[in-house]
Structure 1
Amino acid sequence: MQTSENQQALGKILDMSRMIAIAILLLHFYYQCYTAFAGWKLMSAFSDRLLDNIIRTGLFSNFNKPKLISLCFLTISLMGVKGKKKEDLSLKTGLIYIGLGLAIYFLSYFILKTNLDVSTLAALYITAASLGFILIISGGTSLSRVIALKINSQDIFNQENETFPQEQRLLQNEYSVNLPARYRLKDKYHSSWINIINPFRATLVAGSPGSGKSYFVIRHFIDQHIAKGFSAFIYDFKFDDLSVIAYNAWLKCKCSYRVEPRFYAINFDDLSRSHRCNPLDAASMLDITDAAESARTILLGLNREWIKKQGDFFVESPINFLTAVIWFLRKYQGGSFCTLPHVIELMQLDYDRLFTLLRSEKEIEVLINPFITAYLNDAMEQLEGQIASAKIALARLSSPQLYYVLSGSDFTLDINNPDAPKIVCMGNNPQKIQVYGAVLSLYVNRLVKIVNKKGKLKSTLIFDEFPTIYLSGIDSLIATARSNKVATTLGIQDFSQLRKDYGKEQADVIASITGNIISGQVTGDTAKQLSERFGKIMQDRTSYSINRTDTSISRSKQLDMAVPASKIAGLSSGEFVGMVADNPDEKIELKTFHAQIINDHKAIASQQDAYLPLAVVRKLDEGMVARNYLQIRQEAADIAESEIERIFHDPSLRYLIIQKSN
Structure 2
Amino acid sequence: MQTGENDQAMRKILDMTRLISLVVLILHFYKECYAAFAGWHFVSTLTDRLLENIIRTGLFSNFYKAKLIALGFLMIALIGVQGKKDEKQTFKTASIYLLTGLVFYFISGLVLLVKLEVSVVALLYMAITTLGYMLFLSGGTMLSRIIRDKLKDDIFNTENQTFPQEERLIENEYSINLPARYKLKGKVRNSWINYINMFRALLVLGSPGSGKSYFIIRHVITQHIKKGFAMFVYDFKMPDLSVIAYNTWLNNKDKYKVEPKFYSINFDDLSHSHRCNPLDPSAMLDITDAVESARTILLGLNREWIKKQGDFFVESPINFLTAIIWYLRKYKDGEFCTLPHVIELMQVEYDDLFTILRTQKEIEVLINPFVSAYLRDAVEQLEGQIASAKITMARIASPQLYYVLSGNDFTLDINNPAAPKIVCMGNNPQKIQIYGAVLSLFTNRLLKNINQKGKLKCSLVFDEFPTLTTDIIPTIATGRSNLISTCLGIQDASQLRKDYGKEQADVIMNIVGNIAAGQVSGDTAKQISERVGKIMQDRESLSINRSDTSISKSKQLEAAVPPSRISSLSSGEFVGMVADNPDCKIELKAFHSEIINDHDALKKEIDGYKEIPLVRKLDNAIVQRNYIEIKQDVQRIIQLEMERLLSDPALMHLVIKK
- Give TM-score scaled by structure 1 length: 0.91
Secondary structure (helix, strand or coil) at the match of 1:88 reads coil
Name which of structure 1's ranges 19-28 and 618-627 shifts more when overlaid on structure 2.
19-28
- Tell me if the contact between 1:341 and 1:403 (Cα under 8 Å) persists in the aligned partners: yes
Deviations 1:98-142, CA, capped at 9 Å, x for gaps: 555456556666767777777666665665555454444333322
Amino acid at match of 1:89: Q
- Tell me if the contact between 2:321 and 2:389 (Cα under 8 Å) persists in the aligned partners: yes
Amino acid at match of 2:250: L
Structure 2 unmatched runs, 5+:
none
2:10 equivalent in structure 1: 10
1:398-477 → structure 2 map (5 Å cutoff): 398-472=397-471, 474-477=472-475
1:171-250 → structure 2 map (5 Å cutoff): 171-250=170-249
Distance in 2 (alpha carbons) for counterparts of 1:429 and 1:92: 61
- Tell me if the contact between 1:59 and 1:66 (Cα under 8 Å) persists in the aligned partners: no
Fraction of identical pairs, as percent: 67
Name which of structure 1's ranges 484-493 and 651-660 shifts more when overlaid on structure 2.
651-660
Secondary structure (helix, strand or coil) at the match of 1:173 reads coil
Distance in 1 (alpha carbons) for counterparts of 2:477 and 2:41: 105
TM-superposed deviation, 1:386: 0.8
- Tell me if the contact between 1:519 and 1:576 (Cα under 8 Å) persists in the aligned partners: yes
Structure 1 unmatched runs, 5+:
none
Amino acid at match of 2:85: K
- Tell me if the contact between 1:401 and 1:625 (Cα under 8 Å) persists in the aligned partners: yes
1:80 equivalent in structure 2: 80
**107 and 659 in structure 1: CA distance in 2 versus 1, 3 angstrom threshold:** closer
- Tell me if the contact between 2:31 and 2:51 (Cα under 8 Å) persists in the aligned partners: no
Name which of structure 1's ranges 651-660 and 63-72 shifts more when overlaid on structure 2.
63-72
TM-superposed deviation, 1:298: 0.7
Distance in 2 (alpha carbons) for counterparts of 1:279 and 1:477: 18
TM-superposed deviation, 1:466: 0.9
Distance in 1 (alpha carbons) for counterparts of 2:277 and 2:98: 91
TM-superposed deviation, 1:320: 0.7
TM-superposed deviation, 1:440: 1.0
**420 and 129 in structure 1: CA distance in 2 versus 1, 3 angstrom threshold:** closer
Name which of structure 1's ranges 564-573 and 144-153 shifts more when overlaid on structure 2.
144-153
TM-superposed deviation, 1:402: 1.4
**492 and 26 in structure 1: CA distance in 2 versus 1, 3 angstrom threshold:** closer
2:542 equivalent in structure 1: 544
1:227-376 → structure 2 map (5 Å cutoff): 227-376=226-375
- Tell me if the contact between 1:28 and 1:60 (Cα under 8 Å) persists in the aligned partners: no
Distance in 2 (alpha carbons) for counterparts of 1:147 and 1:647: 99
Selected match of 1:619 from 617, 620, 627: 617
**367 and 84 in structure 1: CA distance in 2 versus 1, 3 angstrom threshold:** same
Name which of structure 1's ranges 201-210 and 294-303 shifts more when overlaid on structure 2.
201-210
**281 and 150 in structure 1: CA distance in 2 versus 1, 3 angstrom threshold:** closer
Quote the RMSD (CA, aligned, Å). Answer: 2.9
TM-superposed deviation, 1:306: 0.3
1:518-597 → structure 2 map (5 Å cutoff): 518-597=516-595
**394 and 12 in structure 1: CA distance in 2 versus 1, 3 angstrom threshold:** same
Deviations 1:464-521, CA, capped at 9 Å, x for gaps: 111111112x111101000000111111111111111111111111111111112222
TM-superposed deviation, 1:49: 5.8
Distance in 2 (alpha carbons) for counterparts of 1:25 and 1:265: 92
Distance in 2 (alpha carbons) for counterparts of 1:540 and 1:339: 65
TM-superposed deviation, 1:659: 2.3
TM-superposed deviation, 1:418: 1.0
- Tell me if the contact between 2:267 and 2:273 (Cα under 8 Å) persists in the aligned partners: yes
TM-superposed deviation, 1:30: 7.0
**603 and 549 in structure 1: CA distance in 2 versus 1, 3 angstrom threshold:** same
Distance in 1 (alpha carbons) for counterparts of 2:572 and 2:598: 12
- Tell me if the contact between 2:33 and 2:122 (Cα under 8 Å) persists in the aligned partners: yes
**517 and 124 in structure 1: CA distance in 2 versus 1, 3 angstrom threshold:** closer
Alignment length (residue pairs): 655
TM-superposed deviation, 1:51: 7.7
TM-superposed deviation, 1:587: 1.8
Selected match of 1:484 from 479, 482, 485: 482
TM-superposed deviation, 1:31: 7.8
Name which of structure 1's ranges 505-514 and 20-29 shifts more when overlaid on structure 2.
20-29
- Tell me if the contact between 1:182 and 1:597 (Cα under 8 Å) persists in the aligned partners: yes
Name which of structure 1's ranges 520-529 and 26-35 shifts more when overlaid on structure 2.
26-35
Distance in 1 (alpha carbons) for counterparts of 2:539 and 2:309: 51
Distance in 2 (alpha carbons) for counterparts of 1:464 and 1:615: 22
Secondary structure (helix, strand or coil) at the match of 1:545 reads strand
Amino acid at match of 1:433: I
Amino acid at match of 1:378: D
Distance in 1 (alpha carbons) for counterparts of 2:110 and 2:270: 102
Deviations 1:313-343, CA, capped at 9 Å, x for gaps: 1101110111111111111121211111111
Distance in 2 (alpha carbons) for counterparts of 1:94 and 1:408: 84
1:516 equivalent in structure 2: 514
Distance in 2 (alpha carbons) for counterparts of 1:594 and 1:578: 7
**129 and 287 in structure 1: CA distance in 2 versus 1, 3 angstrom threshold:** closer
Distance in 1 (alpha carbons) for counterparts of 2:264 and 2:102: 86
Amino acid at match of 2:518: G
Are 2:597 and 1:606 aligned? no
Are 2:505 and 1:507 aligned? yes
Secondary structure (helix, strand or coil) at the match of 1:557 reads strand
TM-superposed deviation, 1:75: 4.1
2:627 equivalent in structure 1: 629
1:139 equivalent in structure 2: 139
**371 and 48 in structure 1: CA distance in 2 versus 1, 3 angstrom threshold:** same
Distance in 1 (alpha carbons) for counterparts of 2:558 and 2:586: 22
Amino acid at match of 1:400: P
Deviations 1:539-562, CA, capped at 9 Å, x for gaps: 333443333222212333333322
Distance in 2 (alpha carbons) for counterparts of 1:69 and 1:426: 85
Distance in 2 (alpha carbons) for counterparts of 1:152 and 1:12: 34
TM-superposed deviation, 1:26: 5.7
Secondary structure (helix, strand or coil) at the match of 1:161 reads helix
TM-superposed deviation, 1:149: 4.1
TM-superposed deviation, 1:61: 6.8
**148 and 40 in structure 1: CA distance in 2 versus 1, 3 angstrom threshold:** same
1:659 equivalent in structure 2: 657
- Tell me if the contact between 2:234 and 2:426 (Cα under 8 Å) persists in the aligned partners: yes
Name which of structure 1's ranges 367-376 and 566-575 shifts more when overlaid on structure 2.
566-575
TM-superposed deviation, 1:245: 1.8
Distance in 2 (alpha carbons) for counterparts of 1:48 and 1:166: 78
Secondary structure (helix, strand or coil) at the match of 2:179 reads strand
1:155-166 → structure 2 map (5 Å cutoff): 155-166=154-165
Secondary structure (helix, strand or coil) at the match of 2:162 reads coil
Distance in 2 (alpha carbons) for counterparts of 1:53 and 1:263: 105
**316 and 131 in structure 1: CA distance in 2 versus 1, 3 angstrom threshold:** same
Distance in 2 (alpha carbons) for counterparts of 1:240 and 1:102: 72
